[in-house]
Amino acid sequence: MDVEGVTMMESPGNRNKWRWNTGTRLIAGLVAGAGLGFVVGKAIKHGHPGVQADGADIAAIGLAAFYIGATALLLWIANDRMRLARVLEGKGADIPASDDEVRSFIYQALVMGLAGILLALPVFGARFLADNLLHRQISFGGIVLLFAVQTYFNVRLWRVSDEFVRSTMAKTAALTFAIGQGGLFLRAAAERMSLLKPASSWDLLVIMMQLYIFVGLFVSVRTLDRSSK
Protein backbone atom coordinates (compact mmCIF):
# COMPACT_ATOMS: atom_id res chain seq x y z
CA MET A 1 0.00 0.00 0.00
CA ASP A 2 1.34 3.40 -0.92
CA VAL A 3 1.19 5.64 2.14
CA GLU A 4 3.59 8.23 0.83
CA GLY A 5 0.73 10.58 0.07
CA VAL A 6 -0.66 10.41 3.63
CA THR A 7 2.79 10.88 5.11
CA MET A 8 3.51 13.88 2.93
CA MET A 9 0.18 15.48 3.85
CA GLU A 10 1.24 15.34 7.50
CA SER A 11 4.64 16.85 6.75
CA PRO A 12 4.08 19.91 4.56
CA GLY A 13 7.66 20.99 5.09
CA ASN A 14 8.83 18.00 3.07
CA ARG A 15 7.27 19.46 -0.06
CA ASN A 16 9.65 22.39 -0.26
CA LYS A 17 12.54 20.14 0.71
CA TRP A 18 11.78 17.71 -2.13
CA ARG A 19 11.46 20.48 -4.67
CA TRP A 20 14.72 22.07 -3.52
CA ASN A 21 16.55 18.76 -3.80
CA THR A 22 15.18 18.11 -7.26
CA GLY A 23 15.93 21.66 -8.32
CA THR A 24 19.42 21.37 -6.91
CA ARG A 25 20.06 18.18 -8.87
CA LEU A 26 18.76 19.71 -12.05
CA ILE A 27 20.85 22.83 -11.62
CA ALA A 28 23.87 20.68 -10.81
CA GLY A 29 23.26 18.73 -14.00
CA LEU A 30 23.03 21.96 -15.99
CA VAL A 31 26.24 23.27 -14.51
CA ALA A 32 28.00 19.94 -15.08
CA GLY A 33 26.78 19.82 -18.66
CA ALA A 34 27.80 23.40 -19.31
CA GLY A 35 31.19 22.74 -17.75
CA LEU A 36 31.67 19.62 -19.84
CA GLY A 37 30.75 21.50 -22.96
CA PHE A 38 33.16 24.29 -22.12
CA VAL A 39 35.95 21.77 -21.61
CA VAL A 40 35.16 19.99 -24.89
CA GLY A 41 35.02 23.28 -26.75
CA LYS A 42 38.33 24.37 -25.31
CA ALA A 43 39.84 20.97 -26.11
CA ILE A 44 38.77 21.31 -29.72
CA LYS A 45 40.34 24.73 -29.90
CA HIS A 46 43.49 23.56 -28.14
CA GLY A 47 43.86 20.55 -30.44
CA HIS A 48 43.47 22.73 -33.49
CA PRO A 49 45.27 26.04 -32.92
CA GLY A 50 43.84 27.49 -36.10
CA VAL A 51 40.26 26.94 -34.95
CA GLN A 52 38.31 29.98 -33.82
CA ALA A 53 35.67 28.86 -31.34
CA ASP A 54 33.31 31.67 -30.39
CA GLY A 55 30.86 31.83 -27.51
CA ALA A 56 27.90 30.48 -29.48
CA ASP A 57 29.90 27.48 -30.69
CA ILE A 58 31.12 26.65 -27.19
CA ALA A 59 27.58 27.03 -25.85
CA ALA A 60 26.29 24.77 -28.65
CA ILE A 61 28.86 22.11 -27.80
CA GLY A 62 27.94 22.45 -24.13
CA LEU A 63 24.27 21.97 -24.94
CA ALA A 64 25.10 19.03 -27.19
CA ALA A 65 27.11 17.39 -24.42
CA PHE A 66 24.24 17.95 -21.98
CA TYR A 67 21.67 16.51 -24.37
CA ILE A 68 23.76 13.48 -25.28
CA GLY A 69 24.63 12.80 -21.65
CA ALA A 70 20.97 13.07 -20.66
CA THR A 71 20.05 10.74 -23.50
CA ALA A 72 22.45 8.08 -22.26
CA LEU A 73 20.95 8.41 -18.79
CA LEU A 74 17.36 8.16 -20.05
CA LEU A 75 18.14 5.10 -22.14
CA TRP A 76 19.84 3.42 -19.16
CA ILE A 77 16.78 4.14 -17.04
CA ALA A 78 14.37 2.89 -19.71
CA ASN A 79 16.36 -0.32 -20.08
CA ASP A 80 14.94 -1.58 -16.77
CA ARG A 81 11.16 -1.33 -16.33
CA MET A 82 11.30 -1.33 -12.53
CA ARG A 83 14.02 1.30 -12.54
CA LEU A 84 11.87 3.43 -14.82
CA ALA A 85 8.87 2.86 -12.56
CA ARG A 86 10.87 4.10 -9.56
CA VAL A 87 11.91 7.20 -11.49
CA LEU A 88 8.30 7.91 -12.44
CA GLU A 89 6.67 7.00 -9.16
CA GLY A 90 9.30 7.09 -6.44
CA LYS A 91 10.73 4.38 -4.22
CA GLY A 92 7.32 2.87 -3.51
CA ALA A 93 6.81 1.69 -7.07
CA ASP A 94 5.99 -2.00 -7.34
CA ILE A 95 4.48 -2.15 -10.81
CA PRO A 96 6.93 -2.15 -13.75
CA ALA A 97 6.67 0.62 -16.31
CA SER A 98 4.08 -0.05 -18.99
CA ASP A 99 4.82 -0.33 -22.71
CA ASP A 100 3.56 3.23 -23.26
CA GLU A 101 5.72 4.62 -20.46
CA VAL A 102 8.82 2.90 -21.84
CA ARG A 103 8.04 3.98 -25.37
CA SER A 104 7.50 7.61 -24.30
CA PHE A 105 10.76 7.62 -22.36
CA ILE A 106 12.73 6.16 -25.28
CA TYR A 107 11.25 8.66 -27.72
CA GLN A 108 12.15 11.51 -25.37
CA ALA A 109 15.69 10.17 -25.22
CA LEU A 110 15.96 9.87 -28.99
CA VAL A 111 14.60 13.37 -29.56
CA MET A 112 17.05 14.75 -27.04
CA GLY A 113 20.02 12.81 -28.38
CA LEU A 114 19.35 13.83 -31.95
CA ALA A 115 18.99 17.44 -30.81
CA GLY A 116 22.44 17.21 -29.26
CA ILE A 117 23.97 15.78 -32.43
CA LEU A 118 22.22 18.40 -34.56
CA LEU A 119 23.63 21.18 -32.38
CA ALA A 120 27.17 19.84 -32.63
CA LEU A 121 27.33 18.98 -36.35
CA PRO A 122 27.24 22.55 -37.76
CA VAL A 123 30.00 23.59 -35.36
CA PHE A 124 32.27 20.72 -36.41
CA GLY A 125 31.25 21.07 -40.05
CA ALA A 126 32.15 24.75 -40.10
CA ARG A 127 35.49 24.13 -38.39
CA PHE A 128 36.76 21.00 -40.11
CA LEU A 129 35.22 21.32 -43.58
CA ALA A 130 35.91 25.01 -44.04
CA ASP A 131 38.09 24.39 -47.11
CA ASN A 132 35.77 22.00 -48.95
CA LEU A 133 32.44 23.29 -50.21
CA LEU A 134 31.27 19.92 -51.52
CA HIS A 135 31.90 18.20 -48.20
CA ARG A 136 30.04 20.97 -46.40
CA GLN A 137 27.08 20.55 -48.76
CA ILE A 138 27.01 16.80 -48.23
CA SER A 139 27.27 17.28 -44.49
CA PHE A 140 24.41 19.76 -44.57
CA GLY A 141 22.36 17.17 -46.44
CA GLY A 142 23.07 14.78 -43.59
CA ILE A 143 21.95 17.41 -41.09
CA VAL A 144 18.67 17.89 -42.98
CA LEU A 145 18.12 14.14 -42.97
CA LEU A 146 18.82 13.87 -39.24
CA PHE A 147 16.48 16.79 -38.64
CA ALA A 148 13.75 14.93 -40.51
CA VAL A 149 14.38 11.84 -38.36
CA GLN A 150 14.21 13.94 -35.19
CA THR A 151 10.97 15.54 -36.37
CA TYR A 152 9.54 12.05 -36.94
CA PHE A 153 10.37 11.02 -33.38
CA ASN A 154 9.00 14.31 -32.07
CA VAL A 155 5.69 13.52 -33.73
CA ARG A 156 5.80 9.93 -32.42
CA LEU A 157 6.51 11.26 -28.92
CA TRP A 158 3.49 13.55 -29.11
CA ARG A 159 1.27 10.70 -30.27
CA VAL A 160 2.27 8.23 -27.53
CA SER A 161 2.21 10.85 -24.78
CA ASP A 162 -0.76 11.25 -22.47
CA GLU A 163 -2.47 14.56 -21.82
CA PHE A 164 -0.12 15.48 -18.99
CA VAL A 165 3.08 15.07 -21.02
CA ARG A 166 1.48 16.91 -23.94
CA SER A 167 0.43 19.69 -21.58
CA THR A 168 3.98 19.95 -20.24
CA MET A 169 5.39 20.11 -23.76
CA ALA A 170 2.85 22.78 -24.72
CA LYS A 171 3.53 24.87 -21.61
CA THR A 172 7.28 24.70 -22.23
CA ALA A 173 6.85 25.76 -25.84
CA ALA A 174 4.48 28.59 -24.93
CA LEU A 175 6.74 29.98 -22.20
CA THR A 176 9.82 29.69 -24.39
CA PHE A 177 8.06 31.52 -27.19
CA ALA A 178 6.75 34.27 -24.89
CA ILE A 179 10.11 34.92 -23.25
CA GLY A 180 12.09 34.42 -26.44
CA GLN A 181 9.85 36.74 -28.42
CA GLY A 182 10.34 39.51 -25.87
CA GLY A 183 14.07 38.99 -25.73
CA LEU A 184 14.36 38.83 -29.50
CA PHE A 185 12.38 42.03 -29.89
CA LEU A 186 14.61 43.93 -27.46
CA ARG A 187 17.72 42.54 -29.11
CA ALA A 188 16.49 43.34 -32.59
CA ALA A 189 15.44 46.85 -31.59
CA ALA A 190 18.84 47.56 -30.04
CA GLU A 191 20.58 46.16 -33.12
CA ARG A 192 18.36 48.21 -35.45
CA MET A 193 19.29 51.31 -33.52
CA SER A 194 22.98 50.37 -33.83
CA LEU A 195 23.32 49.90 -30.10
CA LEU A 196 24.45 46.28 -30.50
CA LYS A 197 26.50 44.40 -33.07
CA PRO A 198 24.50 42.21 -35.47
CA ALA A 199 23.96 38.66 -34.27
CA SER A 200 23.97 35.63 -36.56
CA SER A 201 21.02 33.27 -36.76
CA TRP A 202 23.25 30.61 -35.21
CA ASP A 203 23.88 32.86 -32.19
CA LEU A 204 20.14 33.41 -31.76
CA LEU A 205 19.35 29.71 -32.18
CA VAL A 206 21.82 28.71 -29.47
CA ILE A 207 20.34 31.31 -27.12
CA MET A 208 16.86 29.98 -27.87
CA MET A 209 17.93 26.40 -27.16
CA GLN A 210 19.45 27.46 -23.84
CA LEU A 211 16.22 29.26 -23.00
CA TYR A 212 14.24 26.14 -23.96
CA ILE A 213 16.28 24.00 -21.56
CA PHE A 214 15.83 26.42 -18.66
CA VAL A 215 12.10 26.78 -19.28
CA GLY A 216 11.73 23.02 -19.66
CA LEU A 217 13.51 22.45 -16.37
CA PHE A 218 11.37 25.08 -14.66
CA VAL A 219 8.16 23.50 -15.91
CA SER A 220 9.37 19.98 -15.06
CA VAL A 221 10.49 20.83 -11.53
CA ARG A 222 7.20 22.58 -10.92
CA THR A 223 5.01 19.78 -12.22
CA LEU A 224 7.05 16.75 -11.17
CA ASP A 225 7.08 17.70 -7.48
CA ARG A 226 5.65 14.54 -5.93
CA SER A 227 4.75 16.10 -2.60
CA SER A 228 1.16 16.56 -1.49
CA LYS A 229 -0.61 19.86 -0.83
Partner 1 sequence: MQKRGVFHEMKNKLRVQRVERNWNHGELSQRLGVSRQAIHAIEAEKHDPSLELAFKMADLLGMTIEQIFNQGNREPGK
Nearer Cβ to partner 1 (203/225)? 225
182 is an interface residue for partner 1 by CB under 8 A: no
Question: Cα–chain-centroid distance for residue 213?
Answer: 5
Shortest distance, position 10 Cβ to partner 1, whole Å: 12
> At CB < 8 A and 24+ separation, what contacts does 208-214 make?
208/176, 208/180, 209/60, 209/63, 209/115, 209/119, 210/59, 210/63, 211/176, 211/179, 211/180, 211/183, 212/172, 212/176, 213/30, 213/63, 213/66, 214/30
Segment lying near partner 1 (by CB under 8 A), choices 99-107, 128-136, 146-154, 182-190:
99-107
Distance between CA atoms of residues 105 and 89, nearest Å: 14
Q: Which one of 23-31, 82-90, 128-136, 180-188 is the stretch in contact with partner 1 (CB under 8 A)?
A: 82-90
Q: Does 2 bind partner 1 (CB under 8 A)?
A: yes
> What binding mask, one character per residue, do residues 132-171 give for partner 1 by CB under 8 A, x or -?
-----------------------------xxxxx-x---x
Q: CB-hemisphere CA count at 13 Å for 121?
A: 19
Q: Which residues bind partner 1 (CB under 8 A)?
A: 1-3, 5-6, 9, 85, 88-90, 92-95, 98, 100-101, 104, 161-165, 167, 171, 222-229
